[in-house]
Amino acid sequence: MNPWEVLLAVAARLRFEPHNITAELDARGHYSVELDGEFPFLIKLFHYTTQRHTRGGTWHERLELFMPLDGPARFRMGEQEMELQSGDLLVVDNLKLHHVVDFPGFDTRVIVVSFLPEFVYSLGSPSHDYAFLLPFYSRVERRPHVLRSNDQITGRVHSALAKLLKCYCDGTVLPFHQAGCKAFLLEMLYHLATHFRGSKLMQWEFMRQQARSLRLKKLFDHINSHSSEKLSVKASARLAGMNPAQFMKMFKQVSGMTLVAYLNHVRLAKATRLLGETDRSIADIASEVGFVDQSYFDKRFKRAFGRTPKEFRAESRS
């Protein structure tokens, strides 16, 4: 069997759960998952369908790799949307608001690999280990990193992922389970780093990009805790400890969208949960999440999710 067939064979004996992360989203829209401090690594196996997946954007500190197994999937990060085919691998920009986009006939299993950066590289690590994280931080081209199924290096990535998936899921019976998972993850990351080597940065630039993201974390937390409140550029810059011009440039670099667009995405994500989980009126929900004008709310919601709030509620109830 070729590496792709081996990966499918490993996946065939595993259970893929319907994508429902509502219970794991905190009040900020933050996708909160407890990770072992000694082993901050996780694989999730999801089955996405039009009827069964959690809507709305989320963000998290974990770094993430996303691969559909069966059919096409559409993924949005910030203001960029990309279509993925089976076997493609997306390097997720985790601090950008991101979500899977629904479309008619959407039905695929997905492997999601996530881990904290310090699992691979932290203070005290050998200096060359930063190379494993370059695919996540070195985007000087300003476009997402997607490994396509027909790229030259993809067979090696599929092979490493098959070994990683087997090691992770058989962990209770395999010796050195955690060491094995880390070894196969590093194998994957090595191949990704070599594939995206055209955007390789010097170590100091890598560290600067990490610091940029961390500097805005306090603001992200504030926005997601107080998304319905007005927030000016000046106030946001003050929270981040920058002047407004510096802040606007950095915010767009890190989040992939303007401050206004980011606020709207956070508000709409909260609206999807209220529409699905409560019987409150649409006007009441629009006001609750920070839209004074319901017609504007309806327009923004349809642009983001391809259906009106009323249609979305009817689908979620069915």
pLDDT at 137: 72
Among 22-36, 146-160, 282-296, top mean pLDDT goes to 146-160
Q: Mind listing the domains of the chain with CATH numbers?
A: 3-201 (2.60.120.280), 216-318 (1.10.10.60)
pLDDT at 318: 64
The torsion angles phi and psi of 282, rounded to 5 degrees, stand at: -65, -40
Q: Are 64 and 114 in contact (CB under 8 A)?
A: yes
The answer on pLDDT for 229 being more than 90 is no
DSSP per-residue letters across 217-242: HHHHHHHHHSTTS---HHHHHHHHTS
Q: Name the token pair of 19.
A: 């994508």
- Count Cβ neighbours within 10 Å for each residue of 41-53 and write b for 16 or more, e otherwise: bbbbbbbbeeeeb
The answer on pLDDT for 28 being more than 60 is no
pLDDT at 85: 96
DSSP 8-class letter at 17 = E
Q: Are 130 and 203 in contact (CB under 8 A)?
A: yes
Among 186-195, 203-212, 213-222, 244-253, top mean pLDDT goes to 186-195
Per-residue pLDDT tens over the stretch 176-188? 888 999 999 999 9
Q: Are 68 and 100 in contact (CB under 8 A)?
A: no
Average predicted confidence (pLDDT) for the chain: 82
70-79, 136-145, 181-190, 301-310: the lowest-pLDDT one:
136-145
The answer on pLDDT for 5 being more than 90 is yes
The answer on pLDDT for 174 being more than 80 is no
Q: Name the token pair of 312.
A: 């979305």
| Cα dihedral sign, 139-143-147-150 | negative
d(CA 276, CA 288): 15
**Would you place residue 15 in the very low, low, confident or very high pLDDT band (cuts 50, 70, 90)?**
very high
Per-residue pLDDT tens over the stretch 75-124? 988 778 899 999 999 999 877 778 888 888 889 999 999 998 888 876 55
